């Protein structure tokens, strides 16, 4: 049979290509032996069936890949799994991370030594940690390999999930980094450079100019998978430092998702709760007299406290906490400020509003100005009475305490989110014999306020304060709706606790992240 | 005018709330980008209002000095430090290199300059002093609260003593039951109450957010 000479030449070229490629790439000798933690030639190894599967992580923004494979019979405390990754089907995959297998009992023992409780999520270092940061032998906790059952939002609650390992690849080392660093700066930096070089984390290290320094965090040498790009993975087992088996290559493409289906139950619950609250607001609007709201001592005492300050001719202090406007409790505090400012305007007292945040100060100025105008006392407003003190909490507490002592505050309100300054402020107020009313959702500070203040609004009472003081039917209705929601949730908790106690988990799983 | 005072703020609050809620349920990178962008906008707004805050602070203290109100010396001190720190930051003199880098050159906490010296030598010890006052204040507040005048105060006193004793190693030598009781009090009754409060906070936050979102709560706009 005659063949065309061109065909034979083309066939020869195709057959010669692999050899030519091997000749052109001196770094890939045909007899290269794989070593743990180094790159190697996959084609030189025989594949073993570790059953590796790679999949796009569902319900994410296209930057997560899940790897899963069955647990192996050979797993022992000294054995390692090593994950290899590449972003094209070249012959080389980079070693990504080493995963040490230890059993749960050993894990809990090690965690106990570190003072941590069993089952803590800190074990998922694989998600956040590079190969270079893996725990050193004997110096830190070596994590047990996570299982599919650790990711119920992806794999559900099936019993067989315990028979599979699963890891989430959301970060890996970058291959395009140039580290600019001054090698002579100090011991710490020199140590870091050594480690970076040893791990091969960057392509190039460029010394900085004289006198220039930079701080380097090893975590920055990582990158997340890019969406719509194919990644290839392989898994190999390493025993006593020797590679003894390898999986076939698995691939996955991280995809963007338009809806987080595992949060569908949350969305439904949110709608139901929202509808209940809004329904009660609507009912209250139609029947304003039919709703009862329990007496809140702290709010009942506002008038008494202001009246006392008016009688004594002493100023009122309204102290915001360090929370900014993104905190709901700060918004509640500002709402409350408006109501209190109205009363202050009516009584003709002087009120000082101290702020730790510029935006809170701006909104507070508007609130107080509007409140004074509403009660016909626009002349009582003074910009200097609603002012920014400082952004530092201790400087704030020192400044406000000083003012309270010098001006002998008659009444002090502490509303908002507070930290350790709560006791510094309220104890100073107690020394000046001021009537003090506090309200916060920072539950660690609530005991301090209860101890030092005359009245304390505990958490949710703060949110109801605006409705309580204004008695506006729709606001009161919404508060009533919140109470109904709480009653429903308490019922669910009690029913769920009873069912779980008797081993019926299905009801509880309705409130966990759902699986696809 | 009503448009700017009423409809515009409510519409903006509603639109931003919907976008915020949507971003929780839409994991797409567009949603991520939106969240990152809003954080930047928030920072920009914060940066602008920082000047307003500084202006407010300086104005208040200027008036105190002008009127020679009680404690006006502190206001003068504030001005002195304000000017000193601003000057140090503008000059940006690094003692390690002996060079002045000017206001546009970046500085960090490792630089040996005037701002860092003031921070380390004055502000940090002052803050630590203020913080250390807490120890004394806790004692005085505890003394007032723990006087066993009522049954509740007596129960509180006993519980507090057990918890405090349980935190020191000495308690284990007295009796092994003390650390156990301390842990039991913290992990069960205390945790149950904390969670109940947290539970109320969460529902209250949702309720307040809904009230603001749908324009039922309008106090923040001046109660219109």
Q: Residue A190 — pLDDT band, cuts 50, 70, 90?
A: low
Q: Do residues B33 and B78 share a domain?
A: no
DSSP 3-state of A94 = strand
**Whether the Cβ atoms of residue A235 and residue A247 lie closer than 8 Å to each other:** yes
Is B83 found in the same domain as B42?
no
Q: How far apart are alpha carbons B205 and B209 in whole angstroms?
A: 6
Give the CA distances from residue A342 to residues A117, A300, A375, A415, A501, in Å, rounded to whole numbers and listed in that order.
51, 15, 6, 17, 53
Name the one residue in this structure whose structure tokens are 């601003």: B86
The pLDDT score that the predictor gives to residue A8 is: 47
Cβ contact A77:A101 at 8 Å:
yes
pLDDT > 70: what percent of chain A?
Answer: 67
Cβ-defined contact of B29 to A213 (cutoff 8 Å): no
C-alpha to C-alpha distance for A169 and A65, rounded to whole angstroms: 5
**Which residue in the block uniquely carries the two structure tokens 């209860």?**
A450
| Among candidates A61, A387, A394 on the partner chain, residue whose Cβ is nearest the Cβ of B29 | A61
Report chain A residues whose CB lies below 8 A from the CB of B200.
458-460, 486
Helix (H) or strand (E) holding A80: strand A79-86
- With beta carbons under 8 A apart, name residues in chain B contacting A398: 126, 130
Of B97, B116, B145, which residue constitutes the final position of a domain?
Answer: B145
Q: Do B27 and A423 touch (CB under 8 A)?
A: no
Per the CB < 8 A criterion, the answer to whether B163 and B178 are in contact is no
Q: Kindly tell me if the per-residue pLDDT of A95 is higher than 90.
A: no
User: Do A62 and A74 fall within a single domain?
Assistant: yes
| Whether residue A322 is found in the same domain as residue A402 | yes
- The CA distance from A153 to the nearest CA of chain B, in Å, is 14
Provide the domain limits for residue A444.
Answer: 294-471
CATH number of the structural domain spanning residue A163? 2.60.40.10
pLDDT at residue A193, as a whole number:
60
Contact call for B126 and A394, based on CB within 8 A: yes
- pLDDT-derived band at A149 (thresholds 50, 70, 90) equals confident
Distance of CA B80 to the CA centre of its chain: 26
Q: Rounded CA gap, A118 and A110, in Å?
A: 9
A127 and A242 assigned to the same domain = yes
Say if the Cβ atoms of B137 and A326 lie within 8 Å: no
Mean predicted lDDT score pLDDT of chain A: 76
State the Cα torsion A289-A290-A296-A298 to the nearest 10°. -20
pLDDT band (50, 70, 90) for residue A490: very high
- Is B210 close to A441, i.e. CB distance below 8 A? no
Nearest to A322 by CA among A232, A170, A425, A223: A425
Tokens found for residue A488 = 């429903």
Entry field: residues in chain A: 516
| Predicted local distance difference test score (pLDDT) of residue B222 | 59
Token couple for B2: 């009503």
The full DSSP string for B176-207 is: THHHHHHHHHIIIIIHHHHHHHHHHHHHHHHH
pLDDT tens for residues A109-148?
655 554 545 444 333 233 233 333 444 433 334 456 778 8
- Residue B223's pLDDT is what? 52
- The last residue of one of the domains, among B45, B69, B93, is B69
Higher pLDDT, A248 or B66: B66
A227 to chain B: which residues are within 8 Å by CB? 29
| Cα–Cα dist B204/A333, whole Å | 13
Is B205's CB within 8 Å of A463's CB?
yes
Asked if residue B84 and residue B61 are part of one domain, the reply reads no
Query: Helices in A287-392 by DSSP H: which ranges?
Result: 297-312, 328-347, 358-374
Suggest the residue from A482, A483, A496 to mutate for an interface test with chain B (most B CBs closer than 10 A): A482
Residue A424 with chain B: CB contacts under 8 Å: 130, 133-134, 137
pLDDT of res. A19: 38
How far is Cα of residue A76 from the mean position of the Cα atoms in its chain?
A: 34
Nearest by CB to A475, which of B24, B194, B211?
B211
> Do A513 and A150 touch, CB atoms closer than 8 A?
no
Q: Provide the percentage of residues in chain A whose pLDDT is more than 90.
A: 39
pLDDT at A111: 53
Contact list, A390 vs chain B (CB under 8 Å): 57
Q: Which residues contact A483 (CB under 8 A, 6 or more apart)?
A: none
Poorest-confidence range of A161-165, A212-216, A229-233, B209-213? A212-216
Q: Cβ–Cβ of B52/A458 closer than 8 Å?
A: no
Within 8 A of A451 by CB-CB distance, chain B residues are: 141-142, 144-145
Tell me the CA distances in angstroms from B48 to A54, A125, B78, B126, one per residue in order: 48, 39, 22, 28
- Flag if B141 and A458 touch (Cβ within 8 Å): no
The shortest CB-CB distance from B134 to any of A362, A420, A466 is to A420
CB A214 within 8 A of CB A208: yes
A11 within some domain: no
Which domain-ending residue is among B18, B36, B69? B69
Same-domain status, B184 and B137? no
Measured from the Cβ of residue B196, the count of other Cβ atoms closer than 10 Å reads 14
Higher pLDDT: A273 or A173? It is A273
Kindly report the nearest CA distance between residue A69 and chain B, in angstroms. Answer: 26
Task: Give all strands of the β-sheet with A53-56 in edge-to-edge order.
Answer: A53-56, A65-70, A164-169
Question: CA torsion, points A90, A92, A98, A104, in degrees to nearest 10?
Answer: 50
Q: What single DSSP character describes residue B216?
A: S
- Nearest Cβ partner of B57 from A334, A387, A482? A387
**Closest-CA residue of chain B to A399:** B74
Predicted complex ipTM exceeds 0.90: no
Q: Is the pLDDT score of A160 beyond 70?
A: yes
Distance CA B160, CA B166 (A): 10
Q: Report the distance separating Cα A323 and Cα A442, nearest Å.
A: 10
H or E segment and range at residue A471: none
pLDDT at A103: 59
Residue B193 shares a structural domain with residue B165: yes
Judge if B39 and B83 occupy the same domain. Answer: no
- For residue A230, tell me if it sits in a domain: yes
Residue A459 has pLDDT above 80, yes or no: yes
pLDDT band of residue A173 (cuts 50, 70, 90) is: low
Q: Helix, strand, or coil here: A390?
A: coil
Distance separating alpha carbons of residues A363 and A385, to the nearest angstrom: 13
Number of domains in chain B: 3
Are B61 and B79 within one domain? Answer: no
Tens-place pLDDT, residues A207-227: 555 555 444 444 444 567 788
SS3 of residue A325 by DSSP = coil
* φ, ψ for residue A387, nearest 5 deg: -140, 160
Contact B53 A358 (CB under 8 A): yes
**pLDDT mean by block of 10 residues, chain B; 224 residues:** 82 91 92 89 85 90 91 92 92 80 74 86 92 90 81 88 90 90 94 90 89 82 58
| A146 and A241 together in one domain | yes
On whether both A277 and A346 belong to a single domain, the answer is no
Is A441 within the bounds of a domain?
A: yes
Do A384 and B63 make contact, defined as CB atoms within 8 angstroms?
yes
Residues listed for chain B:
224
pLDDT at A192: 58
Residues A162 and A193 reside in one and the same domain: no
CA–CA separation, A317 and A496 (whole Å): 46
CA A107 to chain CA centroid, Å, is 24
Who has greater pLDDT, A116 or A78? A78
Instruction: Tell whether B38 and B80 lie within a shared domain.
Output: no
Instruction: Identify the residue with better confidence: A380 or A513.
Output: A380
Whether A460 sits inside 8 A of B46 (CB atoms) is no
CA B49/CA B47 separation, integer angstroms: 6
Which of A211, A256, A259 is facing B25, going by the closest CB pair? A259
Tell me which residue in B123, B203, B223 faces A482 most closely, judged by beta carbons: B203
B164 lies in the same domain as B139 = no
Do the domain assignments include residue A3? Answer: no
Task: Say whether pLDDT at A49 is over 70.
Answer: no
Same-domain check for residues A159 and A195: no
Do residue B139 and residue B163 come from a single domain? no
Range of the domain at B11: 1-69
Q: What's residue A35's pLDDT?
A: 35
DSSP B87-135: HHHHH-EETTTTEE--TTS---TTS-SHHHHHIIIIIHHHHHHHHHHHH
Element (H, E) at B159: helix B151-166
A257 within some domain: no
CB < 8 Å to A371, chain B: 222-223
**Same domain (yes/no): B126, B200:** no
Pick from A388, A393, A454 the residue to mutate for testing the B interface (most B CBs within 10 Å). Answer: A388
In a domain, A26, yes or no: no
Provide the 8-state DSSP code for B14: H
User: Is residue A198 pLDDT above 70, yes or no?
Assistant: no
Q: A456, A299 in Cβ contact below 8 A? A: no
Tens-place pLDDT, residues A386-442: 999 998 999 999 999 999 999 999 999 999 999 989 999 999 999 999 999 999 999
| Cα–Cα distance, A430 to B143 (Å, whole number) | 13
Largest pairwise CA distance in chain B: 74
In a domain, A53, yes or no: yes
Please give the pLDDT value at position A25: 35
User: How many CB pairs below 8 A link A and B?
Assistant: 197
pLDDT at A346 over 90: yes
SS3 for A82?
strand
Between B197, B206, B216, which is nearest A443 by CB? B197
Q: Assess whether A148 and A203 both reside in one domain.
A: no
Cβ-Cβ contacts under 8 Å, A459 against chain B: 197-198, 200-201, 204
- Give kind and range of the element (H or E) at residue A451: helix A446-452
Contact A123, A486 (CB under 8 A): no
Within-domain flag for A20: no
CA B204/CA A329 separation, integer angstroms = 9
pLDDT of residue B45: 84
Q: What total of structural domains would you count in chain A?
A: 4
Same domain, A281 and A312: no
Average pLDDT over residues A465-484: 88
Answer whether A105's CB lies under 8 Å from A126's CB. Answer: no
Are A51 and A124 found together in one domain? yes
| Interface touch B130/A424, C-beta < 8 Å | yes
* Contact between chains at B216 and A462 (C-beta distance less than 8 A): no
Chain A nearest-CA distance from B175, in A, is: 22
User: A396 CA to chain B: closest CA distance, Å?
Assistant: 10
Checking if the pLDDT of A334 tops 70, the result is yes
Do A306 and A274 lie in one domain? The reply is no
CA-based Rg of chain B, rounded to a whole angstrom? 27
- Give the model's pLDDT for residue A86: 75
- Tell me if A359 and B49 make a contact (CB, 8 A cut-off): yes
Task: Tell which residue, B54, B59, B88, B91, has the closest CA to residue B75.
Answer: B59
Residues A98 and A231 grouped into a single domain: yes
Q: Cβ of B222 and A273 within 8 Å?
A: no
Task: Name residue A245's beta-bridge partners.
Answer: A237
């Amino acid at each position: 049979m005659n063949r065309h000479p061109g065909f034979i030449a083309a066939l020869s070229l195709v057959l010669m290509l692999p050899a030519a490629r091997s000749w052109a790439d001196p770094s890939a000798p045909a007899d290269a032996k794989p070593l743990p933690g180094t790159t190697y030639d996959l084609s030189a190894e025989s594949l073993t069936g570790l059953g590796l599967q790679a999949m796009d992580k569902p319900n994410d923004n296209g930057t997560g890949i899940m790897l899963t494979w069955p647990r192996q019979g050979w797993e022992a405390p000294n054995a390692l799994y090593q994950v290899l990754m590449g972003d094209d089907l070249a012959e080389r995959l980079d070693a990504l991370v080493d995963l040490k297998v230890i059993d749960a009992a050993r894990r809990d023992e090690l965690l106990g030594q570190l003072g941590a409780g069993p089952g803590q999520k800190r074990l998922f270092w694989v998600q956040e940690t590079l190969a270079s940061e893996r725990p050193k032998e004997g110096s830190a906790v070596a994590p047990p390999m996570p299982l599919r059952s650790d990711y119920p939002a992806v794999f559900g609650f099936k019993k067989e999930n315990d028979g599979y390992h699963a890891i989430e690849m959301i970060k890996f080392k970058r291959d395009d980094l140039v580290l600019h660093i001054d090698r002579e700066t100090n011991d710490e930096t020199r140590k870091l450079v050594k480690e970076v070089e040893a791990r091969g984390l960057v392509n190039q290290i460029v010394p900085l100019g004289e006198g220039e320094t930079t701080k380097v965090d090893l975590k920055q040498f990582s990158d997340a998978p890019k969406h719509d790009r194919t990644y290839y993975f392989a898994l190999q087992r390493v025993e006593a430092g020797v590679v003894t088996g390898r999986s076939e290559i698995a691939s996955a493409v991280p995809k963007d998702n338009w809806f987080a289906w595992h949060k569908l139950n949350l969305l439904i619950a949110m709608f139901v709760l929202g509808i209940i609250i809004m329904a009660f607001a609507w009912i209250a609007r139609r029947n304003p007299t039919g709703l009862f709201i329990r007496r809140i001592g702290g709010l009942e005492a506002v008038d008494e406290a202001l009246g006392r300050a008016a009688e004594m001719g002493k100023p009122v202090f309204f102290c915001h906490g360090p929370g900014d406007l993104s905190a709901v409790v700060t918004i509640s505090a500002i709402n409350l400020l408006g109501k209190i400012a109205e009363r202050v305007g009516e009584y003709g007292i002087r009120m000082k509003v101290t702020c730790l945040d510029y935006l809170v100060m701006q909104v507070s100025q508007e609130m107080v100005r509007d409140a004074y105008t509403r009660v016909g006392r626009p002349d009582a407003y003074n910009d200097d009475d609603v002012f920014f003190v400082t952004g530092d909490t201790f400087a704030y507490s020192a400044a406000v305490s000083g003012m309270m002592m010098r001006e002998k505050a008659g009444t002090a309100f502490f509303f908002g989110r507070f930290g350790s300054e709560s006791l510094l402020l309220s104890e100073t107020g107690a020394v000046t014999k001021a009537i003090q009313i506090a309200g916060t959702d920072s539950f660690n500070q609530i005991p301090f306020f209860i101890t030092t203040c005359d009245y304390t609004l505990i958490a949710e009472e703060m949110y109801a304060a605006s409705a309580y003081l204004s008695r506006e039917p729709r606001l009161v209705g919404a508060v009533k709706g919140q109470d109904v929601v709480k009653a429903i949730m308490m019922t669910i908790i009690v029913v769920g606790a009873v069912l779980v106690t008797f081993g019926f988990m299905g009801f509880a799983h309705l409130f966990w992240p759902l699986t696809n | 005018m009503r448009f700017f005072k009423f409809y515009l703020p409510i519409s903006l609050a509603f639109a931003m709330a919907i976008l915020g809620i949507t971003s929780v349920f839409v994991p797409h990178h567009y949603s991520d980008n939106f969240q990152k962008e809003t954080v930047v906008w928030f920072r920009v707004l914060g940066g602008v209002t920082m000047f307003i805050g500084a202006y407010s602070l300086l104005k208040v203290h200027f008036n105190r000095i002008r009127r020679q109100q009680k404690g006006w010396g502190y206001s003068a001190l504030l001005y002195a430090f304000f000017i000193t720190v601003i000057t140090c930051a503008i000059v940006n003199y690094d003692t390690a290199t002996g060079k002045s880098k000017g206001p546009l050159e970046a500085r960090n906490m490792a630089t040996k300059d005037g701002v860092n010296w003031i921070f380390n030598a004055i502000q940090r010890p002052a803050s630590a002093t203020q913080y250390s006052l807490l120890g004394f204040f806790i004692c005085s507040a505890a003394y007032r609260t723990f006087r066993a005048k009522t049954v509740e105060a007596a129960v509180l006193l006993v519980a507090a003593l057990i918890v405090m004793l349980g935190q020191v190693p000495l308690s284990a030598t007295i009796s092994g039951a003390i650390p156990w009781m301390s842990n039991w009090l913290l992990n069960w009754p205390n945790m149950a109450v904390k969670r109940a409060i947290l539970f109320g906070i969460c529902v209250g936050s949702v309720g307040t957010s809904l009230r603001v979102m749908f324009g039922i709560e309008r106090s923040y706009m001046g109660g219109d």
